[in-house]
Structure 1
Amino acid sequence: MRFSPERSLALLTAPVAALLAGALTLALPDNTRLWDALNRSLPGPADSRVVVVGIDEASLRDYGRIGTWPRALYGQALNTLDQAGASAIGINVLLSDPAVGDSQLADAFSRPNVVLATGPGEPTTLPNPTWKSPAGVSALNISPDGVVRSFQTAYPTGDGAGAAANSLAPSFARQLAVAAGRNVPLDTTPRLLRSTSPDPRRLPVLSFRDVVNGNVRYGDLQGKVVVLGLTANGLGAPAVRDISGESVPAVEMQARAVSSLLSPPFTHLRWELLLLLGVAAAVGAVLARGLWGFAIATLMLALAVPLWMMNLLLPGVTLSLCAILGTALVMLERWWNLRNLSMRDPLTGFGNRLAFTRAVEHRWQGRGERPLGLLLVDLSGFRKVNDQYGHAAGDELLRELSGRILKHKRRGDLIFRWGPDEFAVLLDNTGPQELASITQGVQESLDALNYRDLPLRVSVGAARTGPEIQTPGELVEAASRSRYRVKYQRQGRD
């Protein structure tokens, strides 16, 4: 079906699907809700090297409000952790204000494996110049819905002007991972916060009071990465919501961030690969036709699961929408074909007689400024081809005939299949000389038409609107009379 409207639309919808899918893939590279669901359903095991030391209710009852107790308690806790063989210790408590006895902590807060926290937007320098331990910004990325889904290894500093605006402050989790021996670059790109299975054996929470008093098993702390912070409920402990919607102490979320940095990171697929997958899903749905697009959409969504387990982030929803987009174009194409089926010849793709009638009526009012011309083409010998060689041969002959007529089509002209072996060409804005030239060109092109050993004869009649033609019917009658004259003249010469 060389001129079939269905095939011509398929050639159109495939590139359109590719363009739309490419735009959709670039516009929606992330699927937050999908990754939330996978993070909840397939949480990773908590890194056994990370331990939380919580300032709980028992610690606050013994030592009082956290801002009033002597900071020497931190020194005692650090000594216990150091004696137990902890590899890195992070104190997720803001010590930004100078206090009495800070100089006595110079030794404890100058160890390279001890990380201190600073507040977001605060200076990264420590309040006491004798403290030399690395410091990091205690921050997490809170989404507009109040959920923490990601964190960063660095945050911009400065007031937005000057050289300071281009500097980066390392995050608390990054500094602690570096102190534990992991090489983590400074980067402001958000990293997905890995959800962990609720397994107290892998991520235990020890009481700060027990650590200060030395009432802990050193084997639980040897070689561990310790995160110390406030865990007491209802007593001012900073808490955030995780992807499950539950309120979690900020220190535990920092421990998850450290665990995420110590584990193999999640990796986003390159945008070129995502673009290719999106285009392939959409074009595949167009070429597969039918409801196969929904199968491709399901496959794209299902692929996100095994890739998640391989630490690869696949925007399965976006790719699924690309496949559905291709399916929608197929449905639109079919609707268009059904809408035009009553006015379209399925063999040649030209309009039929009903389409001719509507086209003439539409253009008839403007015939004064743009005169209409009409060619009627009659093929003699077509029935003999069908009888002797079959209908497939007849179809082949009609396609050859329509292709030759199509070569003479100008912009604005319309071609119709007028009957089983007849064609009509509605010419736009045609003068007398131009009508004669086009008629002669079509006639000469079709005179060379033949099929094997059977003689064929094509007659072309022409007419043009003018004062003597008042209706479309009269234009058709004039073209028919012209065609019959040509036919009889050619028969007489033969």
Structure 2
Amino acid sequence: MLGFPDSLTVRPGTARPVRRLAVPLAALLAAALAWAVPENGLLWDALNRALPSPPDGRVLVVGIDDATLRDYGRIGSWPRELYGQALNTLDQAGVAAIGVDVLLADPARNDAALAAVFSRPNVVLATAPGEPTALRPDWRSPTGISALNLSDDGIVRSFQAAYPDPALPGNLAPSFARQLAVAAGRTVPLDEQPRILRYSAPDPQRLPVIPFRDVVNGSIRYGDFQNRVVLVGLTASGVGGPTVRDVSGQTVPGVELQARAVSSLLSAPFISLPLWTVMLAGVLAAIAAVLAGGVWGFAIALLALALAVPYWLLNSLLPGVTLSLCAVLGTGLVMLERWWILRRSGVRDPLTGFGNRLAFTRAVESRWQGRQSRPLGLLLVDLSGFRKVNSVYGYAAGDELLRELAGRIMQHKRRGDLIFRWGPDEFAVLLDNTASAELADLTRRVQLSLDTVAYRDLSLQASVGGASTGPDINTPSDLIEAASRSRYRIKYQRQQWRV
């Protein structure tokens, strides 16, 4: 069934109403998309790899490497005085804070002798998730959970300042990295907000991982450690230590990732945009793409994606992929609109928005089979004097007159009726479920409303003829012929009456 409601009318010099529908629809869909996807983890992974942070000179790693294990044996069998010697050396070197990323929960005979070392406020001891936060009553140094956020693909992308405390449901236990940053003088709130772990590319100019045995023996330059944050942890290969992968895909010892977490906390934090800001930006991107139209929508999408780079450099997390998708969504609506217009342009009159003669033929064919239960009626309207209006006042005046005529016919349109522009100065109204008696009344009312049509000083005359399906109407052509005869008969009678 083909019909062209007045809401799709396109008039010269006016915006297309379909576009007015596309703008709010684009805004609604973009807001939903931004609400559903406010973060772009893969994009931020790519930016983290492509724009690595320079190695933080404030953070050093003292590694328990293969050479250290050859000297002192398996780490679990060490005399713990070695930790005391190493921490005393670091303290003499003037470090700001020391983190021991080695789990010391198992008791040893000489633990009491380390009370003085492990009770310093600038020393942080690591605990495993689920372990008590207090390792020994006489060790009063702060502790932190040595944990990082491991993704399903085995990559560490983020960490937290705190994790749920299993011993006290509802409470939070500080993380190891957070405690070290606090010991170094940084204020870090205790929350579970995931924070991006900054990636640092290897720098040959920076100090490598310092062997633990060199620290124990005092074979270090104190100036390299002054005011630094030092993490002590296992870096040896092949001993089952905590090794995971970073965003570059490289396997990295856990203590080095903890060092990156501390560096991330000591640096300016990344700022996540509020959800309402992301939604507003997505709506604006979609609307801009709709209003720009064409390939400009894709340009807006690329711009939204490219803006993620300067925002990253300014420590702001812009979900460029989401905003880009919002712009593509707006462009898609524009393409859908154009497809809709092109699909209908072959069967629509651009001046009035009514169907053309081809649309009339399709509509009659579609409804013809049901004429027995729902009789079809047809009104044909023509306007005498229209060509004179064009010749005297121009085609713009003729267009204005046709629009007025179309508006008057539209006032009598019932539900299910379809209106078509039949010719240059002719209209056809295909009537749904219309018997002969109702046809006569409708023809009369349409004729009365058109009798007053005029344009300035020119005389015009509208003629309306009608017919409906019946026993003597066997084809659509018969219906058209019957309506045409009725129209010419009325036109002739009205001319005779005027004479």
Same fold (TM over 0.5): yes
- Which of 57, 63, 83 is residue 48 of structure 1 equivalent to? 57
Q: Does 1:411 align with 2:415?
A: yes
2:374 equivalent to 1:370: yes
The separation in 1 between residues aligned to 2:266 and 2:154, in whole angstroms, is 26
Equivalent positions of 1:301-340 (< 5 A) are 301-340=305-344
Q: Deviations over 1:104-160 (max 9, x none)?
A: 11121122221111112x22323322112211111111112111111111112339x
Superposition TM-score, scaled by structure 2 size = 0.92
Normalised TM-score (structure 1): 0.93
* SS of alignment partner, residue 265 of structure 1: coil
Residue in 2 that maps onto 1:488? 492
**2:221 aligns with one of 217, 223, 232:** 217
Once residues 303 and 485 of structure 2 are traced to their aligned partners in structure 1, the CA distance between those partners, rounded to angstroms, is 63
Q: Aligned match of 2:351 in 347, 352, 356?
A: 347
Give runs of ≥4 in structure 1 deviating > 6 Å.
none
C-alpha separation between the residues in 2 aligned to 1:242 and 1:452? 82
Matches within 5 A, 1:31-430: 31-120=40-129, 122-158=130-166, 164-199=168-203, 201=205, 204-430=208-434
Task: Return the letter of the residue paired with 1:3.
Answer: T
Q: Which amino acid letter does the alignment assign opposite residue 166 of structure 2?
A: G
- Displacement of 1:427 in angstroms is 2.1
Amino acid in structure 2 at the alignment position of 1:119: A
2: CA distance, partners of 1:184 / 1:473: 85
Instruction: Measure the CA separation in 2 of the matches of 1:110 and 1:442.
Output: 100
Inter-CA distance 440–220: structure 2 relative to 1 (3 Å threshold): farther
- Is the CA contact 1:25–1:319 (under 8 Å) kept in the aligned structure 2? yes
The within-5 A match list for 1:470-485 is: 470-485=474-489
Structure 2 stretches of 5 or more lacking a match? Answer: 1-6
Over the aligned positions, Cα root-mean-square deviation in angstroms equals 2.2
Find the residue that maps to 2:16 and give its secondary structure.
helix
Residue 225 to residue 356, structure 1, CA distance change in 2 (3 Å): same
Residue 311 of structure 1 deviates from its aligned partner by 0.9
Q: Is the 8 A contact 1:141 1:150 kept in 2?
A: yes
Q: In the TM superposition, what is the alpha-carbon distance from 1:432 to its structure 2 partner?
A: 4.6
Deviations along 1:21-73, whole A, 9 cap, x unmatched?
A: 22222222222222111111111223322111111122111111111101121
Structure 2 residue aligned with 1:442: 446
- Asked if 2 retains the 8 angstrom alpha-carbon contact of 1:124 and 1:135, the reply is no
Matched, 1:28 2:37: yes
Does structure 1 residue 10 correspond to structure 2 residue 19? yes
8 Å CA contact 2:377, 2:432 repeated in 1: yes
The answer to whether the 8 A contact 1:50-1:203 is kept is no
Provide the rounded CA distance (Å) in 1 between the counterparts of 2:193 and 2:407. Answer: 58
**How many matched pairs?**
489
Contact 1:124–1:137 under 8 Å retained in 2: no
Identify if the C-alpha distance between structure 1 residues 47 and 79 changes in structure 2 by more than 3 Å, giving closer, same or farther. Answer: same
Contact 1:139 1:171 in 2 (8 A): yes
- The 10-residue stretch of structure 1 (334-343 or 127-136) with the greater mean CA deviation from structure 2: 334-343
Give the C-alpha shift of residue 332 in structure 1.
Answer: 2.5
Segments of structure 1 that go 5 or more residues without pairing to the other structure are: none
Change over 3 Å in CA distance of 1:307–1:407 after alignment to 2: farther
Deviations 1:420-473 (A, max 9, x none): 111112222334554444434433333333222222222222222333333222
Task: Supply the distance in 1 between the matched residues of 2:124 and 2:335 (Cα, whole angstroms).
Answer: 60
